[in-house]
Each structure stands twice: as structure tokens, then as C-alpha cells.
Amino acid sequence: MKTRLMNPALWAVGLAVVTFAGPTAGDEINVYSYRQPPLVEPLFARFTEDTGIDVNVTFLNKGMIERLQAEGDRSPADLILTVDISRLNGIVEAGVTQAVESAVLNESIPSEFRDPDNHWFGLTARARIVYASKDRVADGEVTTYEDLASDNWKGRICIRTGTHPYNLALTSALIAHDGEDAARAWLEGIKSNLARKPQGNDRAQVKAIHAGECDISIGNTYYMGLMLKNEEQVAWANSVRIVFPTFESGGTHVNLSGMAMTAAAPNRENAVKLMEFLASDEGQGIYAETNHEYPLSPGIPLSQLVESWGSFEADSLDLIDVAKLRPMALRLVEEVDFDG
Ligand code: FE
């Protein structure tokens, strides 16, 4: 029994991967994943080792809802894995998932991190924080998300596109705290502080800090772990430190990765087993140790690296409320021509 990873090379260049001839039943499970191969492979390998159930993974980076809708009842997919509360919410709202009643899941995942109707379940949290140049940013200089729009940061900020789900979730949370007008002004302020047009992924911004193009960037916490493991990127990682900003009236912005069972799920029983494994102490431990994410199940130790960043207070906004503000966040990003 082995875990089969399907066409990660195609995934990497952004093509939808067609890998299934049709529905299958037996000792296997089919996963559609927006999460990258290195992040999920260790988990599936362990699950297969423990259970003898093969995990077939199709890696996607867009169009999951459209694909599930087109496949309908004949979809081979059992389980979807994704990041971002809006994506989890969107997939459920599109009607392509089903509820899962599981005492194990309800015990492992605190209620604020799962759908009240049991369609999606959070697996890990990640904070969206500031990467700050060790040389050019003073201790205590980074304070709130709101302050990133102040003149102190003129020409000093690098960030990925404003329409990326991670940034839309942050903007949504800012709207929830400060209101629409303040959020528009905030986006304009950050735009006027950028050292260059939004481009690249979260790690590309840290590379730019290392190159001296900017002094701070906004990124997710676990990328520090990924950069430290990468020969080319370790120097980028070592040029910055992680700082946890807060909202003026709240804590540090966090987002989720999570899972949902598809409506079609030909291997429903196996899918429940995999879901329960991912939420188990073993699964959550791998997320913490290998991916440097924050496990949602209480009592799972953080990795040493994550521990070393120090503690922070997570913002207390209801993430489902944040997800509902996504359309407004997108409209504001477009109104101020954030990426232009
Ligand atoms: Fe990511």
C-alpha cells in the first residue's frame, strides 16, 4: 500500500489535473487538494501505513468548485483539503459537500473552528504576521495592522497581490474591526507605502527583504519553517524575524486550513477515517511538527521552531463573519487599484 501523489509537477504550473477515470470503491480514498504536496504527503503516508487505505490525491490550484459541480454524482472525490475560511465556506455554499456527524471530530476540533452544520472542519491555524528585517526594523517598531498604513512605512513594505485569499481574509477582518471606510483608507495607505507593486508569493517578499528592496512584508507564519528547510531560502529566512501585529481593537489575524467531505463521496467510510486521522493527536502532531502550523486540537505541542516565535493573542472575530465580508474586501481592493 502506498500513497500516490498525482502529477505534482502539473500542479506546480497551475493546471487542473485529470487523474480519475470514474468513481471507485474499495480500500482507497480520493482527495482533491488545494494544499501543496510537501504539506500533505507526510500525513497521507502515515495514514496509509496505519490503515492500509490508499490515498489518491489530485492537486489543484483553482477551479475546485467548478470541477465538483461538473462531476456531480459521478465525482470520484471523497474529501477536499483547502486553506482559507472563505474557500471552506464557498465550497459548502456551492452545495458540493455533505455533513459529517463524528463524535471524534467534534471532540478534537473546537466548535469555533468547524461549520455549525458539520460540513467543514478546521485542521490548523496560521497567523498572518509581519516579517521584519533584522537590520532595518527596530524592536517594537511594528505594532498594529492599522499602523502599516502610516508614513513610518513609506517605501518599506512588500506584499503579494491584494486579491489573494490570504490578503482578502486580512482585509475582511480589518473591515469587521474598523469599518468599510477605514478599510479603504488602510488599503490606500499600504499601497502608498509599497516598495514595489504586489507580486509573487509570501516567500518572495522575504526574499525581497533579504535583497534590501523592502524592510517588512506580510506573510503566513509557516513559511518561515519552509524557508529554513530550503537551501536557497534559508538566507532569506535568517534576514528577518517574525512579529505578531494586532488589530487596534483585537488580536493577531489567523486563518484556517481545513477539510470537507464531498457530496458524492464514493468511499464515505474511508473518508471519515481519514478526517478523523487528520484531527487525531497523530495527525495534528504531524501538522505541528512537519508543517509548523498551529494545530487546532487542544493539547498538541507546537514545534520547537513555532514555540521560538513566542506567543500571541489570536483575534477573536468569528471567522465565518470574516468570510462573509470577502466580497466587500475584494471590491475595496479593486476600488483602490491595490495591485496597479
Ligand atoms: Fe500558504
Note the pLDDT tens digit of each residue in 199-251. 999 999 999 999 999 999 999 999 999 999 999 999 999 999 999 999 999 99
What is the 313 CA–ligand 1 centroid distance (Å)? 21
List, for residues 120-138, the tens digit of each pLDDT value. 999 999 999 999 999 999 9
Q: Average per-residue pLDDT in the chain?
A: 92
Q: Which pLDDT score is estimated for 26?
A: 58
Q: Check pLDDT > 70 for residue 68.
A: yes
Q: Is 131 helix (H, G, I), strand (E, B) or coil?
A: strand
What is the 126 CA–ligand 1 centroid distance (Å)? 9
List, for residues 254-268, the tens digit of each pLDDT value. 999 999 999 999 999
Residue 278 corresponds to which cell in the numbers above?
Answer: 487528520
Identify the burial level of 120 via C-beta atoms within 10 angstroms of its C-beta, where 0-12 means exposed, 13-18 middle and 19 or more buried: buried
Query: Which residue in the block uniquely carries the three cell numbers 487542473?
Result: 16
What is the 171 CA–ligand 1 centroid distance (Å)? 17
Residues near 7 by Cβ (< 8 Å), separated by ≥ 6?
17, 19, 58, 59
| φ, ψ (nearest 5 deg) of residue 305 | -60, -50
What is the 27 CA–ligand 1 centroid distance (Å)? 30
What is the 220 CA–ligand 1 centroid distance (Å)? 7
List, for residues 147-164, the tens digit of each pLDDT value. 999 999 999 999 999 999
Identify the burial level of 299 via C-beta atoms within 10 angstroms of its C-beta, where 0-12 means exposed, 13-18 middle and 19 or more buried: exposed
What is the 297 CA–ligand 1 centroid distance (Å)? 20
What is the 216 CA–ligand 1 centroid distance (Å)? 18
Residue 206 corresponds to which cell in the numbers above?
Answer: 522575504
Neighbour tally for 285: CB within 10 Å: 16
